[in-house]
Amino acid sequence: MKAIVAGERIDGRETIAVFDKYTGTKIDTVPSLTAEDVDRAIGSASRSAAAVAGLTAYRRREIIDEVAGEVDKRREDLASMLVSESGMCIGDAEFEVKRAANVLRMYAADALRLGGEWLSLDADARGAGRHGYYFRVPVGVVAAISAFNNPLALMAHKLGPAFAAGNAVVFKPASLTPLSALTVASMFADSGFPPGVVNALTGSGEALGPLLAADPRVRVVTFTGGWEAGEKLAKAAGPKRLLMELGSNCPNIVCADADLEAAVPSLISAAYSFQGQNCLHAQRILVHESVYGRFRDEFVSRASKLKSGDPRSPSTDVGPMISENAAIRVERWVSEAVGMGGKVLMGGHRSGSFFEPTLMENVPREAKVSCEEVFGPVTVLSSFSRLADAIEVSNETEFGLQAGIFTRSLNDAMSAVRSLRFGTIMVNESSDFRVDMMPFGGVKRSGIGREGAKNALEAMTEIRMAVFDQRSPG
């Protein structure tokens, strides 16, 4: 599959192979592009920025809606592509395609809502006889860099607001899962946007990412990925606007009065969906000591029935991880935790790129599976006696994306909402819940800024103020 630069489909002198994550067979190649290609793509976006900014909001909405419709038409092909390139189970892949189309429609609608405000400047004595208003204009060029775990949804959350706001884009999908994202990028390139507005690069993120971030023609960098990569991009970017989601370590608190019939299946899904390769993954579950044994037994009983295998089969619950190296790392972290006194209640074994859904207890807080982002199908169980203690332990992480609490007590729920240092607190829902219009993002090492319709569009525009002196001359 080709990259898109300056209105052309291009190859590279070298290529990157894309493999089926279940069979291990090569399914395609993408170009491994260079600094020269990055410069050309940014130049193209910069030159075409005025043309896309000149489109009416109505036309931008129309184009994005048309691409969303094309995504719907090709949902079977895109879902199959997602299963192959990512190892995502077929049900999750079908949902991913539907979600991406809906996210694009959401941003398309919000293109019509970009506005401003009229200001009465005579609130200050110096403003007498003057009136003003502000409105929003596109920043110009947006660099969008995405992760492997939700190739289409992440792309939609980056390209959707960028185009809705009237910007040109240089997009780089993850090298492990570039095919579905490139397919949708091609839909945008073939749509009604002026030539050069849509650029999609493939290649090493480590090499290309800092070049994109550092270029002064790029005014906004939106990135989803790991903390280390995000830190490098931020240093390269310097003083420009950043939207970064950099992972998490999500705690979920189960209180003594929680509805376990609801909490257990919700948390199993949050722990093992897409093999735990999810920034909202329920990595830690803290359960009140009075219901700890019951919760643990019910969780193990139900989760042990999850079926691993071919992600194309509708009966499969758990597919392969993104690579064997990723599974080896998770295996190493689990072994470390066991060596520190942790106990494996279920799972814990690896076969190639498959890692069993794993639940552990008695894990020291300093073990990697407890304090870092595991990004795999491993969840750590612990008990607490006071809610204040559970909140304190939850807050120990350097991350702060989302957290969950299960309780029937309004007071306990409000206490958690006030005290948990995370971007979003779920009440009677796992940390793995997201509706796409939410202001999505975290605190601490989980990132900068918020996605979601209004938030992302505002981040990809600039305020322009106009002031009129209406005093009579003389």
Average pLDDT, the chain: 96
Of 286, 282, 299, residue with least CA distance to 373: 282
Task: Say if residues 203 and 194 touch (Cβ distance below 8 Å).
Answer: no
pLDDT digits (tens, 9 = 90+) for 255-297: 999 999 999 999 999 999 999 999 999 999 999 999 999 999 9
Of 96, 245, 331, 356, the active-site residue reads 245
- 312: pLDDT confidence band, cut at 50, 70 and 90? very high
Segment 231-237 shows an average pLDDT of 96
pLDDT digits (tens, 9 = 90+) for 196-206: 999 999 999 99
pLDDT of residue 473: 64
Beta-carbon contacts of residue 246 (< 8 Å; ≥ 6 apart): 223, 225, 226, 227, 230, 442, 445, 446, 447
Of 253, 243, 299, 205, residue with least CA distance to 404: 253
Q: Above 60 in pLDDT, residue 474?
A: no
Tokens of 71: 């995504």
279 is catalytic: yes
Q: Above 70 in pLDDT, residue 300?
A: yes
pLDDT of residue 224: 96
Segment 40-62 shows an average pLDDT of 97
CA distance 303 to 224: 29
Handedness of CA 52, 170, 246, 153 (dihedral sign): positive
241-245 and 447-448 strand pairing? antiparallel
354-355 and 358-361 strand pairing? unpaired
Euclidean distance between the first and final Cα of the chain, in Å? Answer: 69
- 100: pLDDT confidence band, cut at 50, 70 and 90? very high
Segment 184-204 shows an average pLDDT of 96
DSSP secondary structure string, 101-167?
A: HHHHHHHHHHGGG---EEEEGGGSGGGTTEEEEEEEEE-SEEEEE--SSSHHHHHHHHHHHHHHTT-
Tokens of 430: 């796992």
305: which DSSP letter?
T
Task: Say if residues 387 and 253 touch (Cβ distance below 8 Å).
Answer: yes
Q: Above 70 in pLDDT, residue 472?
A: no
245 is catalytic: yes
Give me the domains of the chain, ranges plus CATH numbers: 3-247+442-465 (3.40.605.10), 250-427 (3.40.309.10)
Q: How far is CA 358 from the centre of its chain?
A: 24
CA distance 96 to 236: 32
Partner residues linked to 378 by β-bridges: 358
pLDDT of residue 115: 87
Beta-carbon contacts of residue 333 (< 8 Å; ≥ 6 apart): 367, 368, 369, 372, 374, 376, 378
CA distance 247 to 379: 16
DSSP secondary structure string, 384-423?
A: ESSHHHHHHHHTTSS--SEEEEE-S-HHHHHHHHHH--SS
Q: Above 80 in pLDDT, residue 471?
A: no
pLDDT of residue 358: 98
Of 89, 250, 255, 279, the active-site residue reads 279
pLDDT digits (tens, 9 = 90+) for 337-395: 999 999 999 999 999 999 999 999 999 999 999 999 999 999 999 999 999 999 999 99
- Residue that has been written with the tokens 């370590």 in this structure: 249
CA distance 243 to 443: 12
Segment 100-119 shows an average pLDDT of 94
pLDDT digits (tens, 9 = 90+) for 447-458: 999 998 789 999
